[in-house]
Amino acid sequence: MATQNIVKFINSINNLDTKSYSRLKEAIEKRDSIKFVSFLLNNDDYENNRSCPYCNSKEHNKWGIREDLQRFKCKSCMRTFNILTGTPLANLHKKGRWLSYAQCLIDGLSVRKAADKCGVHRNTSFRWRHRFLQNANQIKPDKLSGIVEVNESIFAWSEKGSKRLRRKPRKRGYKSQKDIPSKSRVFTMFCRDRGKNTFDDIFLKFNADNLKPDLSKLITKDTLLCSQNKAVYMKYTKENNIRHGILSIPKKESVKKDIVHIKNVQKYQLSLLIWMKRFRGVATKYLKNYMSWYREIDEFDFKISPETVLVRAKRADKYNTNHFR
């Protein structure tokens, strides 16, 4: 814009009525938000080692800017891409409202409340939720050290939102986990060390063979695994020569030798269940996303910033939410 036009525009602001001035201020704030989100994404240090999303080559040149996002051209496959290509945030619109929506995730708002707060449709709010959470499932600790507590929970298989049920209809909810039929059970495992590092996973069948891939990565022979005296954990620790602190269920043991207990992981499980009640049931295919959602905000002691949520949402690879063992 020419200097003379800028001067005329600034002078004309004094002649605006209240309604027009409010609309101008809203437009400027919206533009500032878009600029800030683009700046945040463009200057993420993680992007310094970014490879081509099509051929994984790290040889590329800058190739202009479009919609405030830096584009690149790969020297190998000659295809162009930007910093969001191949990430869950690709092809999403209204960047100026992403930080507001990230704050809604931190606050644990429902789909409709988040839509009202951000000024988007409820379907957009639902789509954004699971795009933002898609990567959170992969951000887990690689190792747990010291004393590790492990416990499991049972959820009923849910097809909430599905137009065609693959099972017979049933009344909402069960009084307890024991009331859930065996064929309708989904098992969740939680591992948490005394440093509050948490790992979780979902299984259709809860046995030692399904647990082994996860526990083998997390637990070393120097680790003390604390659990109740259930055959699944006892079989795994015996086969892999892992130190095992066992709490007897019949004796209702809660603490043994002052260090063997699972109070931390049980407290985490209870907090997760209480937090999830606000959503009035979660579809099983999205259960991992909700567990990862809570794990992320718990990792930062509920003080995570919207900027961190946004940057973490685009970093990891895509994840298939329908994958269960």
CATH topology of domain 142-159+175-304: Nucleotidyltransferase; domain 5 (3.30.420)
Residues of the chain with pLDDT under 50: 316-325
Is the distance from CB of 203 to CB of 222 less than 8 angstroms?
A: no
Is the distance from CB of 70 to CB of 83 less than 8 angstroms?
A: yes
Distance CA 23, CA 118 (A): 17
Q: What is the pLDDT of residue 130?
A: 92
Q: What is the pLDDT of residue 117?
A: 92
Using a CB cutoff of 8 Å and minimum separation of 24, what contacts does 199-202 make? 199/140, 199/141, 199/144, 200/140, 200/291, 200/292, 200/295, 201/325, 202/287, 202/288, 202/291, 202/324, 202/325
Distance CA 130, CA 114 (A): 13
Distance CA 240, CA 219 (A): 10
Q: What is the pLDDT of residue 31?
A: 57
Q: What is the pLDDT of residue 96?
A: 86
Element (H, E) at 114: helix 111-118
Sign of CA dihedral 248, 254, 260, 261: positive
pTM listed for this prediction: 0.80
The first and second tokens of residue 300, run together, are 């930062």
